[in-house]
């Protein structure tokens, strides 16, 4: 199983080794890092509209 503890500004997660492979854990940690970086980026309001336009044009090809 797993256990989650919080104290001050830290979160400690304890996971039974039998629950997942080391590679899976590393992939999860990389995803957390990317999520943190994404939160720090300050995009303009119109960025989602631009992304939709690009995606729309891509599928027209």
How is the chain split among helix, strand and coil, in percent rounded to 5? 60, 20, 20
Of 23, 25, 17, which Cα lies nearest the Cα of 1? 17
Residue 61's pLDDT is: 64
Residue 59's pLDDT is: 78
Of 34, 32, 28, which Cα lies nearest the Cα of 15? 28
What's the pTM? Answer: 0.57
Please, which residues bridge with residue 5 across strands?
A: 12
Question: For residues 57 and 49, is the Cβ–Cβ distance under 8 A?
Answer: no
Residues of the chain with pLDDT under 50: none
Residue 3's pLDDT is: 96
Residues in the chain: 61
Residue 12's pLDDT is: 96
Residue 47's pLDDT is: 84
């Amino acid at each position: 199983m797993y256990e989650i503890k919080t104290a001050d500004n830290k979160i400690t997660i304890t996971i039974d080794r039998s629950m997942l492979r080391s590679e899976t854990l590393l992939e999860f940690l990389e995803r957390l890092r990317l999520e943190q970086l994404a939160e720090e980026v300050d995009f303009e309001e119109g960025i989602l509209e631009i992304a939709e336009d690009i995606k729309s044009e891509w599928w027209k090809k």
